[in-house]
Chain A
Amino acid sequence: MTHAEEPARRGVLNWLLGLWGGGVLASIVYPVARYLAPPDIPEAAALSTNAGSAQALAPNSGRVVPFGARPAIVIRTPAGELRAFSATCTHLDCTVQYRPDLQRIWCACHNGEYDLNGRNVAGPPPRPLDPYDANVTGDEIVITRRA
């Protein structure tokens, strides 16, 4: 190797070092930048979730909505009051529904019935449904888990 080649080789080495170093930096900066950009869903639905329009929920009817990884049921009593419960039946984890004819929350799997306060009143369910808070902001029903 001649002395003339040495600085040229070092130049290539530095250039390569810069290139790869830039690549390494980019693979750090890219995830961080993506992380910093606000995600599509801005926050965890840990404590509350939107359960749709309050107007659209007529008295003596109910609606099942996802709340985290589990379903919740929001009902409007015949008297017009909004109430929300966990929609997972306490018997065998089926999803309950509102039965306007019975005016009760009803589980189709084994005919379990809960009253409008979520209490297990007929059939096999061993426990009442977990109650949630239901509030209205604007026209949106917001279900909140009780801390």
Chain B
Amino acid sequence: MTDGRWRAWIDERFPLDDVLESLRHKRVPHHRYSIWYYFGGMTLFLFLIQVGTGALLLLYYRPSATEAYESVQFIVSRVPFGWLVRSIHAWAANLMVASAFAHLFSVLFLHAYRRPRELTWISGFLLLLLTLGFGFTGYLLPWNEVSFFATRVGTDIAATVPVVGEGLLRFLRGGDDVTGATLTRLFGFHVAVLPAVATALVAFHLLLVQRHGMSVPPSIEQRAADPGTVRSIPFLPHFLLRDLFAWTAVLAALAALATFFPWELGAKADPFAPAPAGIRPEWYFLWAFETLKHVPPTVAGLSGEVVAVAAMGLGALAALLLPLLAGESPRARSVVVWAGAAALLFLSVMTGLALRAAAP
């Protein structure tokens, strides 16, 4: 049989059968929280969409202050389906951030970071930071008015970091101010540095997931008479088909969003124009933006902004090292749940406040 011959040919050179065999035996726990298992795969799917549409945009995009805006305008107005590709790239970026956050909080609340999945959590958290980095660096690339001023404000925050702030600011901007140099720099990060790091981290993250399998939440484990007897379904085809279902649905939603709410291009950035009213960052940075607005000018003799940035940095560090900080006891787990809930509440309230301030 031809099929068999091909399989044999490949198997001799690449252990395809082993991979398929292990996948065939892979099982995914099935319980009332299993829906949260899909957000990791969803984030990965959206990442792949970003890679695909990003590569397509690269065919026409030009990373320079004089041409960036015009090239994006060209993409959305002259290139067939350019409007679709650009809008999907912009919308999928937002959905990806949302999906990554959902994944993070579900893992947190279901305690999936526990031993031996500490490295999975850490790599995952780093991937979330990378996702935000993608968002920040990609935002400036159309070189329009809002993105220009939002980048100026966003990079300003970097300057408040003690000691290295000034250097960090100059590093991000490629100079003292946001200019064409910043654009090429952020472009480089967005299409080369970040994707390279992200791909490696995704591979590592997936390898670990593969190695350890899906974590079963402690509450489910306890309810099951014997920890080994939690109900599960095969990865192939049961879980994968459900994944496929969710991916296809999201793809349709993306197409609809891109068609009915095309991502606005706005006016070209003019570095010498005064900042227009209502400049604000992307929604996933709003909480930080709002927090900085509310801190008093000085806290305990230090600049309030510095204190806030330091606190956010410490918070992020604590979140990164969560599996190492949190113990195994049920008590420690409830502390994690409360801390996670508090963080979620803080992020939601701050984002809500910022959105309310922005609404006319």
Contact = CB atoms under 8 A, between A and B. Distances in A.
Contacts of A37: 80
Contact of A46 (B56, B59, B71, B84): B71
Interface in B49-82: 56, 59, 62, 65-67, 69-71, 73-74, 78-82
Contacts of B85: 31-32, 35
B248 interface: yes
Q: How large is the interface on A (under 10, 10 to 19, 20 to 34, 35 or more residues)?
A: 10 to 19
A147 B66 contact: yes
B78 A46 contact: no
Interface in A7-30: 24, 28
A145 B78 contact: no
A138 interface: no
Contacts of A35: 56, 59, 79-82, 84-85
Nearest to B72: A44
The A contact surface, by secondary structure, is loop
Interface residues of B, number: 20
Contacts of B66: 46-47, 145, 147
A5 interface: no
Contacts of A68: 70
A43 to B, nearest CB: 7
Interface string B78-103: 11111011000000000000000000
Contacts of B81: 31-32, 34-35
A71 B319 CA distance: 56
Given A34-B80, A35-B85, A39-B78, A46 B248 contact: no
Contacts of A28: 251
A36 B52 CA distance: 12
A35 B56 CA distance: 8
B64 to A, nearest CB: 8
Contacts, number: 51
A41 interface: yes
Contact of B79 (A39, A47, A147): A39
A38 B238 CA distance: 42
A39 B85 CA distance: 15
Contact of B59 (A24, A36, A41, A145): A36
A36 B71 CA distance: 15
A31 B84 contact: yes
A34 B66 CA distance: 27
A37 B80 CA distance: 8
A31 B79 CA distance: 11
Nearest to A30: B81
B291 to A, nearest CB: 39
Nearest to B75: A44
Contacts of A45: 70
B82 A44 contact: no
Contacts of A44: 62, 67, 70-71, 73-74, 78
26 contacts: A31-B81, A32-B56, A32-B81, A32-B85, A35-B79, A35-B81, A35-B84, A35-B85, A36-B59, A37-B80, A39-B78, A39-B79, A41-B78, A44-B71, A44-B73, A44-B74, A44-B78, A45-B70, A46-B66, A46-B69, A46-B70, A47-B66, A47-B70, A68-B70, A147-B65, A147-B66
Interface of B: 56, 59, 62, 65-67, 69-71, 73-74, 78-82, 84-85, 248, 251
Given A35-B81, A39-B78, A147-B65, 8 more contacts: A31-B80, A32-B85, A35-B56, A35-B82, A44-B71, A46-B66, A46-B69, A47-B66
Q: 4 tightest CB-CB pairs across the interface, nearest first?
A: A46-B70, A44-B74, A31-B81, A34-B80
